[in-house]
Amino acid sequence: MNNGTALKDVVVTEYINDKNAVFSEHDGMLSMKLISSDGDKDYDRVFLHRCFPHELEDGYISVLDREQNEICMIRSLSDFSDDVRKMLERELKRRYRVSVVKRIKSVNERYGYSYWKIEDENGACEFTVRDTYRSITKISSDRIYITDVDGNRYEIPSLEALDRKSFRKIELFL
């Protein structure tokens, strides 16, 4: 079979790296200059969307313009120099806000809602979850995240690493 008909050849995706894209940041927002032989193009605000936010945090990141149209893709953050990579990581941190659960102090369930008291990287935190079982998303057998009534996410990167007391509090919901 002729390889020329392969899907990847028909659908062209532009992947960027240090050579064809220059990023800068101001006021907590990211800008990009796309360098091409047809002429450079400036985007005063771009947004980074992870294609696989659970599986691959640092790869396949779509770069979108203000109208949410894709401009190009980042295959891997490692295609960029340290400074730029850090800048991109900062942008991702601004876009994906996930609290990491360090300890679960208590979980009280009443009539379809549960009230959680936890400790995350910023200290003590309380939140309410509706329909608890359905609000816990299993990313893998060891990694989960909980979505509260407002849409905030609380991640437990490793259930195994969680202390025994905390694990017992969440065990029945898994």
Give the other-Cβ count within 10 Å of 161's Cβ. Answer: 10
Minimum CB separation of residue 127 from another protein in Å reads 8
Instruction: Return the residue of 39, 122, 141, 164 that touches another protein, per CB under 8 A.
Output: 122
Site for another protein contains 124 (CB under 8 A): no
d(CA 56, CA 51): 8
Instruction: Return the residue of 4, 37, 82, 112 that touches another protein, per CB under 8 A.
Output: 112
Site for another protein contains 152 (CB under 8 A): yes
Applying the rule CB under 8 A, the residues between 35 and 74 that interact with another protein are 44-45, 53, 67
Minimum CB separation of residue 62 from another protein in Å reads 14
Instruction: Return the residue of 71, 98, 100, 159 that touches another protein, per CB under 8 A.
Output: 98
Site for another protein contains 86 (CB under 8 A): no
Minimum CB separation of residue 76 from another protein in Å reads 20
Euclidean distance between the first and the last CA atom of the chain, given in angstroms as a whole number = 48
What values do phi and psi take at 156, rounded to 5?
Answer: -115, 100
Instruction: Write a three-state SS string for 37-85.
Output: CCCCEEEEEEEEEECCCCCCCCEEEEEECCCCCEEEEEEEHHHCCHHHH
Minimum CB separation of residue 132 from another protein in Å reads 8
Candidates 8-16, 33-41, 125-133, 157-165: pick the segment binding another protein (CB under 8 A): 125-133
Q: Answer for the pair 60, 73: CB distance below 8 angstroms, yes or no.
A: yes
Which residue has 């450079």 as its token pair? 40
